[in-house]
Structures are given as C-alpha cells and as structure tokens.
Amino acid sequence: MTAKLVQGYEVVIGFETHAQLSTKSKIFSRASVAFGAEPNTQACAVDMALPGTLPVMNVGAVERAIEFGLAVNSHIAERSIFARKNYFYPDLPKGYQISQFEIPVVQGGEVSFFLEEGKETVRKTVRLERAHLEEDAGKSLHEDFVGQSGIDLNRAGTPLLEIVTQPDMRSSAEAVAYAKELHKIVTWVGICDGNMQEGSFRCDANVSVRKPGGALGTRREIKNLNSFKFMQQAIDYEVRWQIEQIEDGHAIQQATVLFDPDTGETRAMRTKEDAADYRYFPDPDLPPLVIGRDWVERVRSEMAELPRVMAERFVKDYVLPDYDATQLTQSKAVAAYFEAVAQACGQAKLASNWIMGEVSRRLNASEMTIEQTPVSAAQLAALIGRISDNTISNNAARQVFEALWTEGGDVDALIEAKGLKQIQDTSELEKIIDDVLAANPKNVEEFKAGNAKALNGLVGPIMKASKGKANPGQVNALLMQKLT
C-alpha cells in the first residue's frame, strides 16, 4: 500500500483511551459512581484519602478488564501489579493515582475495522500495546462553585481502563475509525456506557509527523477528545501546525495540548512529563492482582457473541461480503434487526442493502437509532419479498418504504393503494412497446444499424408510458426480441 502523505510528510498517531468501567461502585471503595450527583456526595473516606483508609479492589472492575482483553484478543496477565503514579494536583488528595505501570492486566491485542480510501474499502488493524486499570481523579470546579474554585471528589476513584495503542494510525480518518471501532467494542461488551459527553469514553491522540521512512517524530498529545468530530478536526489542525513548524525550521517540543472547538486550534497546556517524573513504584497497599485461568475461562463462557465473531457468522450463514457483515454488526440492535429481516424474507443480501442504504439514510437524516425505526423488521421483510417476487420495482419499493416510514401500514395495501404493481401481463407490456416502437422509427433504425445507445431512447418512453410499472428487465428482454 502506498503511504498517504500530507505535504510530503507521513502522519503517525497513537491513542490512549480512558473508558470508564460500568461498575456500580468505585475501583477501590464502595462509594457510588453514578453521574451528576451534588459535589462531594459520592466521595467516601477512601476517595478523600483520609489517613488510615486502605483501598480494596473491586472485582467487577477486574472482570470488565478481562472481558475487554478477550474481546480484542489480548493476553490477560496471570499476575499484574498496581503502582502509584505520583503527582501533585488539588483534585488528587492522596498525592498519587493508583494505576498500573510495569505489568498491566491486559497485554497486546488488536482492533481492526474497515476504512473507505477513495473508492476502495480497506481493512486496517491497529495493534494494542496494553490496557490497564486505574482510578480517576476528582474535578476542579472553576466556573460556578459559590464564586470560587472548588474540588468535587465524586469522580475520584471511578474505575477506568486505559487502552493504549501502538503508533499504528496514519491519518485522522484512520484514527477516527479506530476510535469508533473501540467505542463499539466497549459498548457492545457492556463494560462502558460510551457516553462521550459525560466523559465515559475519552480519547487522547498522540500525533507526530515524519518524512517517509525516517525515525518517529516528536509527538504532541491532544487530550480529552470527547467527540468524533472534534477528534478529526483537532488531529487535522495539529498535523498542519506541526508541518508548518518543521518547514519553518522549528523543532517540535513534546507537549500536552488541548483542542479548542471554538477556534478549531490546539494549544499547549503543559510540557509533557516523562515516566520518571511520576516516580512510579508498586503500591504497598494492594497485593498483586492474580487472575487464574479458570476465572478467564468463566468470563469467556459468559460473554455474548462478539461483533467480529458475529460478522464472521454473517459472512458464512448469510453469504454476505465482509464489508456488509461489519456494517451490520455496528451495534447489537442493528445486527438483531438485520437477522430478523433476513430470516423473515430469506433474502439476506437484499436485507443488507436496504438496511445499509435506505434505512440508515433515513435514520441518519432524522438522527435516530435503529431502536427508533418506525419500519419494523416484519414490514421491511414484506417489502423485500415484493421486490424479489417482481410485484414491484426498486423505485416503487422506495416509495412504499417512504410511506411505511411516515404513515406506517401494510405493504400489500400500500402497493395496491398507490397502484405500484408492475405489469405482470406480457401482452399489456408488448402493446406499450409496439406503440413506442411505432412512434420512434428513427431510434429503431439506428439500433438496427448497430448503434446500441439508440435503445435508451426507447426504454425511457416505454417506462414512462407504463407509468414506471414496467419491469425494466422484462422491457429489455422484449425489446431485444422484437428488434433482433
């Protein structure tokens, strides 16, 4: 594959994503993690770091990390270690964050997805370096806290899985596609609610540029991208900025930057700390996390079918192209809708075309999800049945679909009411064709003289005379019969 270059530079991106794990209580305490409570009403003595308190591992958080690892083909460490990451910040009352450093619980793995490149659809795989468990910090409230800055410790101790990739992405489009796929995986498996506005799924993009074939460039890390749209904008801006700096003869400084959606620019927040600055060391308050293989196997056996496994099954059972299978496994709800339609009408490829085409176009236009579709699987199946038995043309089917969407109703009744039935009777169609041939002798002559295009000048008027109710395939066949 030829490398994609921006102004002669290759873009290199690696992601760190914080997925908030969907447990009820915190990672090392029993306080609730529900979103939106009054400040400091969900912070217990452990979260406030009162002296004498000790952390206790939440087994539910570990189990979710195992589920994630299994979903992306990682190794689940038999033994992993919690470490203290030391830094001073007002929202971190212990003075350190409990995280994992040298031995993370989830090691390796990969995320693969499809990507549109020009007219082609290519499969791309991003390797994961690791995923580790850690606690979130609290929040500083600068805006509206009785006229002064305050600290809200509700978020302190919220369980996070930090998912780190290798620097495998080569464009903002690839980065967004990776993030969407990762989002799909964590929500599908159910370990994270994926709510980006509320911060349950936060992405940091590490971005650098280099001349093709050269060593990796110095990276800047764009923090807390909380929408796919901003992600793309931020990376594109950052790439242009870095190239401009280098072209102007300035070296890139490693830094942490923030994206400002109002200006569309990234802005340096602080120079980046190195691991050494955090003075990591194993947390003496927590024993090593030991995960027996029986636990892993139990978790594996209780997990629902994964999207990629389901996609493979769709390819095999429904004879669908890879691309369709991947699109249809975007969410459990889409997959269930597809299976219901395909099984009811027995036409899997048509079902897939309709769901990826008309249905998703309509859903997108009204910002709805498949759960909200007004056209039930049974209705769509009935509609597809009427296309495949030649009762209606594709065009007519789109009209029926539109009616189903806006008014609902019965497919056959709508076809009847709108007079959309294709002409089944050959003699009726032949009569129309004979009339059109008689009215267009010039086209007939040209066709007979070898100009194949002259046929178009005949098909159009025939379809028109039939009020769109002629079957185009049948029209063509009859025309050929009569003209050759």
Interface positions with ligand ADP (CB under 6 A): 12-16, 164-167, 206-208, 216-217, 219, 275
* Euclidean distance between CA atoms 17 and 15, whole angstroms: 6
Which residue carries 């079957």 as its tokens? Answer: 471
Tell me 253's DSSP state: P
Q: Angle between the 332-345 and 377-388 helix axes, to the nearest 10 degrees?
A: 40
**Is 117 or 204 the residue whose CB approaches ligand ADP more closely?**
204
87 touches 256 (CB < 8 A): no
Q: How far is the CB of 209 from ligand ADP (least distance, A)?
A: 8
The C-alpha atoms of residue 126 and residue 406 are separated, in whole angstroms, by 42
- What is the nearest approach in angstroms of ligand ADP to the Cβ of residue 194? 20
Distance CA 221, CA 203 (A): 10
CB closer to ligand ADP, 116 vs 277:
277
Nearer to ligand ADP, 164 or 455 (CB): 164
State the residue for tokens 């994609």: 4
Instruction: List beta partners, residue 414.
Output: none
Report the C-alpha gap between 451 and 477 in whole angstroms. 17
Distance CA 411, CA 388 (A): 14
Between residues 35 and 228, which has the closer beta carbon with respect to ligand ADP? 228
Written as six digits, the tokens of 343 are: 């099984």
- Least separation in angstroms between residue 218's CB and ligand ADP is 7
Q: Choose between 16 and 402: whose C-beta lies nearer to ligand ADP.
A: 16
Q: Which is nearer to ligand ADP, 170 or 386 (CB)?
A: 170
Place of tokens 């217990």: 44
Residue 75 bridge partners (DSSP): 107
CB of 395 to ligand ADP, least distance (A): 49
Question: Minimum distance between the CB of residue 11 and ligand ADP, rounded to whole angstroms?
Answer: 9
Measured in whole angstroms, how far is the alpha carbon of residue 373 from the centre of its chain?
19
Closest CB to ligand ADP among residues 15, 338:
15
Q: Which of 234, 141, 136, 129 is nearest to 192 (CA)?
A: 136
CB of 175 to ligand ADP, least distance (A): 10
405 near 375, Cβ under 8 Å? yes
Least Å distance, CB 187 to ligand ADP, is 21
Q: What is the rounded CA–CA span in Å between residue 311 and residue 307?
A: 6
Cα 209 from chain centroid (whole Å): 25
- The DSSP H or E segment spanning 86 is strand 83-86
The least distance separating ligand ADP from the CB of residue 367, rounded to whole angstroms, comes to 32
* Smallest gap from residue 14 Cβ to ligand ADP (A): 2
Nearer to ligand ADP, 14 or 109 (CB): 14
Query: Which candidate, 335, 311, 313, places its Cα nearest to that of 114?
Result: 311
Name the residue number minimizing CB distance to ligand ADP: 14
Distance between CA atoms of residues 69 and 21, nearest Å: 13
* Residue 270 or 467 having the CB closest to ligand ADP: 270
Shortest separation between residue 210's beta carbon and ligand ADP, angstroms: 8
**Residue with smaller CB distance to ligand ADP, 250 or 464:** 250
